[in-house]
Amino acid sequence: MIQIQAFEMFLSSPACKIEVPERLTVSHEALVQSGLADRCVSIPVREATDADILLVHSEEYLEAVKKTPYMTLEDLKEFTLQYGDVYFHPNIYHCAKLAAGAALQLVDSVMTGKVRNGMALVRPPGHHSMRSAASGFCVFNNVAIAARYAKQKYGVKRVLIVDWDIHHGQGVQYSFEDDPSVLYFSWHRYEHQKFWPQLRESDFDSVGKNKGVGFNINVPWNKVGMQNSDYLSIFCHLLLPVAYEFNPDLVLVCAGFDSAIGDPEGEMCATPDIFAHLTHLLMNLAGGKLCAVLEGGYNLTSLAQSVCQTVQTLLGDPAPPPANLDGPCKSALDSLHCVRSAHRQYWSCLKHAEEEEEEKTLDKGEEGNSIEEKVWPEPPKRVTPTIRTAVVLPDGVTCPDGCKRFSSSEDLDPLIISKLNDVSGFMHAVLGLLLPLAYEYDPTLVLLVRMSDAGLCEIVWQQLTGLLQGLAQGHMLVLMQDGEKECVGPTASSLLGYPAPSLGQLPAPLPEDVASIESLRHRLKADWKLLQTTGDFTT
Ligand SMILES: NCCCNCCCCCC(O)(O)C(F)(F)F
Ligand SMILES: [Zn+2]
């Protein structure tokens, strides 16, 4: 579902060169040109109400912003000076209500099942705005309001917010740092606090407060030039294990694309196709309920390409082969190690993190302020298969035409629950070992063989089938033993692109499972760089 808000195009302040109206028009135009727009549902935008906005912001802040349409340009300038890097325009209050309202419309559409997932292409962005202050082009915190709204209106218990914008969404962090029901994950250009907004609390040791400890995860990028491998490593060895343990009911993405190559703010080197994989890897959480809301992204070419890569994956199309996976750089591994260590006491999937030893890595990160113009190949054309899933079946087994619904894991009988520990260990192996290794191997075909003695309950099998479709452009062959008839339906639903049911709250993986997985990972990581989780502190 694409949400293009009816946008007054003249909202551009001369003072702000990069947050320009063209960001939305080029993104929408690219979706139209690529044929993706026609495959989406568009829903009407609405203004956020005062009540919506007051879910996050204070009365005095809202009342102050309400006055801006009637201010003289002088008063506006005066009003703006009290905030950092935000540009008020007589029309920005109206637009900010539309941006927040669009995010809420998207939440309504996903939570009511009208659509499976979606993206709201909005301006102004939101993740820097705080309870009583605007900041960094942001007026109302669209995603923070959406999280509170989902909890209040739909009784959502746990919300995961993934902020892949290249700036730290301090506004989101402040909103939820003592709230264990909202897990906020952000990576951001930091350069040891030299990069905007230059906050001490953007570093990896800000883990949340009081009841919220462990539910705020900051990954600082202390060098520019981060590549696809760096982003994938963080997903496989940090975000995904924690996200599966957290078991969210809804995933919100602060979808900023200034973390892509060519962006003047981010100065990173990850190519637009990586967002297809980042999106895909989040789509089996929360039963597929995912709302992406645009934040930053200032290189109009990479912004448009990245938006298309994200939307095409939300539509269920196979992911492209990930470009240039040559392993994470030392700086990224140092950050990964610091964050995993800071959080090991809060997450059982990270409990063993302190046992890491150093790895031999070379440091490819560059110093900031690189001035050369970045060029990159257009993402490869992604085919939309006409026949998505062919099923060869022995007679007597009907061909499934949809997916079988599962009850939540709480209803599973005791026998299967006793297996859940194996499931935790299994997911630990899939996320931290199989996935990174498979991405680095970059196969052209995935052959998935289900041995009947695998003892894997079907939901885990569906998660596995779903996750592995990010590889080999979705070319997957599943072989099953004769006695697995009841697994044909769930397997077919995953192959058809239906999100796998949630695994529920996973207990800690068995120590012996972790030990065997970790020893295998330590053995293999000399040859498979995506298995590394710490940098070598000696040069
Ligand atoms: N005075 C030094 C440069 C200030 N640079 C401000 C950058 C704002 C970034 C905004 C964003 O990209 O994070 C958002 F997603 F919110 F749009
Ligand atoms: Zn940004």
Distance separating alpha carbons of residues 103 and 108, to the nearest angstrom: 9
Least confident of 24-33, 130-139, 294-303, 354-363: 354-363
Least confident of 204-213, 275-284, 303-312, 389-398: 389-398
Q: Does position 302 have pLDDT exceeding 90, yes or no?
A: yes
Convert the pLDDT of each residue in 235-253 to its tens digit: 999 999 999 999 999 999 9
Residue 20: the pLDDT is 93
Question: Of all protein residues, whose CA lies closest to atom 8 belonging to ligand 1?
Answer: 136
Q: Are 107 and 117 in contact (CB under 8 A)?
A: no
Atom of ligand 1 nearest to the CA of 138: 16
Residues 6+ apart with CB under 8 A from 454: none
Counting ligands in written order, the one closest to the CA of 260 is: 2
Distance separating alpha carbons of residues 176 and 168, to the nearest angstrom: 14
Residue 365: the pLDDT is 55
Residue 373: the pLDDT is 80
Distance separating alpha carbons of residues 468 and 464, to the nearest angstrom: 6
Instruction: Provide the β-strand partners of residue 159.
Output: 182, 250
Which is the catalytic residue, given 57, 128, 280, 428? 128
Confidence bin at 406 (pLDDT 50/70/90): very low
The helix or strand, by DSSP H or E, that contains position 421, with its residue range, turns out to be: helix 414-429
Ligand 2: distance of its center to the CA of 367 in Å? 19
Which residue would you say has higher pLDDT here, 114 or 410?
Answer: 114
Q: Does position 433 have pLDDT exceeding 70, yes or no?
A: yes
Prediction pTM value: 0.90
Residues 6+ apart with CB under 8 A from 107: 146, 149, 150, 154, 250, 291
Cβ count near 337 (within 10 Å): 22
Neighbouring C-alpha atoms within 13 Å toward the C-beta of 453: 0
Whether 94 sits among the annotated catalytic residues: the reply is no
Query: Mutation test of ligand 1: which of 24, 161, 165 has the most ligand atoms closer than 8 Å to its C-beta?
Result: 165
Atom of ligand 1 nearest to the CA of 136: 8
Q: Does position 410 have pLDDT exceeding 90, yes or no?
A: no
Q: Does position 313 have pLDDT exceeding 50, yes or no?
A: yes
Enter the tokens of residue 413: 């009988």
Counting ligands in written order, the one closest to the CA of 294 is: 1
Q: Does position 419 have pLDDT exceeding 60, yes or no?
A: no
Ligand 2: distance of its center to the CA of 297 in Å? 6
Q: What is the mean pLDDT of residues 357-373?
A: 57
Short-list 533, 186, 537, 538, CA closest to 333: 533
Q: What is the mean pLDDT of residues 11-37?
A: 87
Which residue would you say has higher pLDDT here, 537 or 508?
Answer: 508
Q: Are 476 and 468 in contact (CB under 8 A)?
A: yes
Q: Are 368 and 195 in contact (CB under 8 A)?
A: yes
Q: Which amino acid is at 377?
A: P
Preceding omega of 124 cis (within 30 degrees of 0) = yes
Query: ipTM of this model?
Result: 0.98
Q: What is the mean pLDDT of residues 498-520?
A: 89
Q: What is the mean pLDDT of residues 146-175?
A: 98
Chain length of the chain: 539
Atom of ligand 1 nearest to the CA of 167: 13
Phi and psi, residue 370, nearest 5°: -70, 135
Question: Of all protein residues, whose CA lies closest to atom 3 belonging to ligand 1?
Answer: 196
Distance separating alpha carbons of residues 139 and 97, to the nearest angstrom: 9
Question: Of all protein residues, whose CA lies closest to atom 6 belonging to ligand 1?
Answer: 136
Q: What is the mean pLDDT of residues 314-338?
A: 94
Counting ligands in written order, the one closest to the CA of 23 is: 1
- Whether residue 128 has its Cβ less than 6 Å from ligand 1: yes
Alpha carbon distances (Å) from 478 to 151, 424, 429: 38, 23, 20
Which residue would you say has higher pLDDT here, 72 or 535?
Answer: 72
Ligand 1: distance of its center to the CA of 518 in Å? 39
- Whether residue 167 has its Cβ less than 6 Å from ligand 1: yes
Preceding omega of 197 cis (within 30 degrees of 0) = yes
What b/e string do you get for 197-229 counting C-beta neighbours within 10 Å, with b at 16 or more? beeeebbbebbbeeebebbbbbbbbbbbbbbbb
Enter the tokens of residue 434: 């199989």
Short-list 110, 235, 148, CA closest to 185: 235
Q: Does position 377 have pLDDT exceeding 50, yes or no?
A: yes
Residue 8: the pLDDT is 39
Atom of ligand 1 nearest to the CA of 166: 13
Enter the tokens of residue 277: 């994989």
Q: Does position 167 have pLDDT exceeding 90, yes or no?
A: yes
